[in-house]
Amino acid sequence: MRELVAKKYVNALMQSLREDELDAFASSLHQLSMAYGIAKFQTIIHSCEISASKKEELLLSMVSSPSPKLINLIKLLSANDRLAILPDIAQGLDYQLSIKKNSFEGSVVGMFELTQEQLNELETSFGKRFGATIHLASRKSDYPGIKIELEDLGIEVSFSVERLKSQLTEHILKAI
């Protein structure tokens, strides 16, 4: 439900913001949405004891120079008791900007870190495949293999060492 409501705000923002305002607005929203990861901040936003105007002041104080449209959005969300969906709006706006720019971000997860050259090669390869600009970041984890995730495109490619062993064993057993 939150995503549907956030999507309506995102669509309104995409229509009302000029091309030159989009990046700065998205950056401000991203700045604000990072605060939602802090438990104390969540408590303040969801508190019935703190007035809506104080919540607005808190949010606006976190942005160095809020635009009039950002101030209006915060006031509108506050008036409708929807400040909690601000991270969803930020995420939706980022997605719409990615589509507009035809540029997507993803991650490469595995037991080892890839070199910048290997990342560049993967970015080029996936970029050609999907006709878009792809930016990948490498993350080290305990995943036994390698996994490439492009969430905005709905793509996940993985190569698992365990799966390879299993398929190899299965093939050998069938051959015998």
**Residue 34, pLDDT score:** 92
**Residue 170, pLDDT score:** 82
81: left (phi over 0), alpha (psi -120 to 50) or beta: left
| 172: Cα separation from own chain's centroid | 43
Phi, psi of 152 (to 5 degrees): -65, -25
Q: Which residues, other chains included, contact 7 with Cβ-Cβ below 8 Å and sequence gap of 6+?
A: 92
| Spatial contact of 77 and 83, defined as CB atoms under 8 Å apart | yes
The per-residue pLDDT for range 103-128, each reduced to its tens digit, is 898 998 888 778 889 889 989 998 99
2-98 classified as CATH 1.10.520.20: yes
Residues of the chain with CATH 1.10.520.20: 2-98
**Residue 19, pLDDT score:** 85
| In the predicted structure, residue 134 carries a pLDDT above the cut 80 | yes
The per-residue pLDDT for range 17-74, each reduced to its tens digit, is 988 888 899 999 999 999 999 999 999 999 889 999 999 999 999 988 889 999 999 9
SS3 readout for 100-153: HHCEEEEEEEECCCCCHHHHHHHHHHHHHHHCCEEEEEEEECCCCEEEEEEHHH
- State the pTM of this model: 0.74
